[in-house]
Amino acid sequence: MSLFLRDWFSRLSMLTRNDRILIFSLVAIASFSFARLFFTSHEGKEVLVKVGNRPVQKVSLKMDKRINVEGEKGSVVIEVKEGRVRVVESSCFQKICVNTGWINKPGQNIVCLPNKVLVTIEGKGSPTIDAVSY
Partner 1 sequence: MKKFRALIFVFLIFFVCGCGKKEYSKVEFLMDTVVEIRVHHNSKAEAEKAINNSMEEMRRVEQKMSCFLPDSEVSRINKEAFLEGKRGSPLAEGWIPVSDELFSLLEESVLLSKLTKGSFDITIFPLWKIWKFEGENLEVPSKGEIERVLKLVDYNNMILQNKKIRFTKRGMSIDLGGIAKGYAVDAAVNVLKKKNINSAMVNAGGDMYVLGRKQGKFWRIGIRHPRREGEILGIIEVENKAVVTSGDYERFFFSGGKRYHHIINPKTGYPADECQSVTIVAEEATFADGLATGIFVLGPKEGMALIENLAGVEGVIINKEGDVSVSSGLVFKIEYVNQK
Binding site for partner 1 (CB under 8 A): 17-19, 21-22, 25-26, 29, 33, 50, 52-53, 93-94, 99-103, 105, 108-109, 111, 113, 116, 118, 120, 128-134
Q: How far is the CB of 87 from partner 1 (least distance, A)?
A: 12
For residues 102 and 124, the answer to whether their CB atoms sit within 8 Å is no
CA–CA distances in Å: residue 72 to residues 65, 75, 80: 22, 8, 22
| Cβ distance to partner 1 smaller for residue 9 or 32 | 32
| Cβ distance to partner 1 smaller for residue 5 or 132 | 132
| Cβ distance to partner 1 smaller for residue 67 or 121 | 121
Q: How far is the CB of 51 from partner 1 (least distance, A)?
A: 9
Distance CA 30, CA 33 (A): 5
Tell which residue, 89, 120, 87, has the closest CA to residue 104. 120
Q: How far is the CB of 72 from partner 1 (least distance, A)?
A: 10
Neighbours of 1 (CB within 10 A): 5
